[in-house]
């Protein structure tokens, strides 16, 4: 029988144990090593987004984003654009993140095309880019915008706080036009 991992248990693990895995509903999901093409594409996207983001945002690759504490769900997107001021905060939370990018690989198609779109949107991450590696060699980027969830409050509770102000637009024209508007 498998046992769920708690946020506290995961927090005690050394970083090298956390590489190459995600935690979904408290269960460890092992990810195979990505191909060189996959890693290169993720790095090129991260570099372009980082250059376009300005001083308030960073773009990096391959670290945990904590989508929920109970049951623990940590995803490790290929590229993450996040608030620069949170660089030393662990774990990175959805409210720190503007955009996540997943490069689809053989074996991750259903998870990247269906499951993660929903998980990232429900967690409140505004933008999700899914990058398909086309046979022509030119990647195809699908952009998903989070659909705002209605805020609910019971009559005997304080209403949910207002959403944070919208993050700035990210634009880059070289080497390829990139624009990420809210």
What is the mean pLDDT of the segment spanning 116-125? 94
- Give the pTM: 0.78
> Do 102 and 78 touch, CB atoms closer than 8 A?
yes
| pLDDT for the residue 49 | 95
Per-residue pLDDT band for 31 (boundaries 50, 70, 90) equals confident
Mean residue pLDDT of the chain comes to: 83
| pLDDT for the residue 139 | 85
C-alpha torsion angle, residues 42, 96, 118, 65 (rounded to 10) = 60
| H/E run at residue 65 | strand 65-68
Per-residue pLDDT band for 39 (boundaries 50, 70, 90) equals very high
Per-residue pLDDT band for 130 (boundaries 50, 70, 90) equals very high
Question: How far is residue 97's CA from residue 151's CA, in Å, rounded to a whole number?
Answer: 20
Return the percent helix, strand and coil in the chain, to nearest 5: 25, 25, 45
Per-residue pLDDT band for 179 (boundaries 50, 70, 90) equals low
156: pLDDT strictly greater than 70: no
173: pLDDT strictly greater than 80: no
Question: How far is residue 34's CA from residue 41's CA, in Å, rounded to a whole number?
Answer: 11
Domains and CATH numbers, the chain: 34-64+74-149+158-180 (3.90.1570)
Q: For tokens 């996207």, name the residue.
A: 45
What is the mean pLDDT of the segment spanning 145-154? 48
pLDDT tens for each residue of 56-113: 999 999 899 999 999 999 999 999 999 999 999 999 999 999 999 999 988 899 999 9
Least confident among 8-12, 14-18, 134-138, 153-157: 153-157
**How many CA atoms, within 13 angstroms, populate the side-chain half-sphere of residue 170?**
22
| pLDDT for the residue 131 | 93
172: pLDDT strictly greater than 60: no
């Amino acid at each position: 029988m498998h046992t769920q991992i708690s946020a506290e248990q995961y927090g005690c693990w050394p970083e090298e144990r956390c590489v190459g895995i995600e935690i979904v509903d408290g269960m460890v999901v092992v990810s195979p090593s990505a191909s060189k093409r996959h890693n290169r594409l993720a790095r090129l996207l991260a570099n372009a987004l980082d250059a376009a983001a300005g001083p308030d945002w960073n773009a990096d690759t391959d670290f945990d984003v904590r989508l929920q504490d109970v049951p623990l769900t940590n995803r490790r997107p290929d590229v993450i654009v996040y608030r620069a001021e949170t660089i030393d905060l662990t774990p990175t939370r959805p409210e720190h993140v503007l955009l996540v990018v997943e490069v689809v690989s053989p074996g991750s198609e259903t998870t990247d095309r269906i499951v993660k779109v929903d998980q990232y949107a429900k967690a409140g991450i505004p933008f999700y880019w899914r990058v398909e590696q086309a046979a022509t060699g030119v990647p195809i980027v699908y952009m998903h915008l989070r659909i705002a969830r209605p805020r609910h409050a019971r009559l005997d509770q304080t209403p949910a706080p207002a959403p944070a102000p919208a993050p700035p637009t990210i634009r880059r024209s070289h080497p390829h036009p990139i624009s990420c508007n809210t």
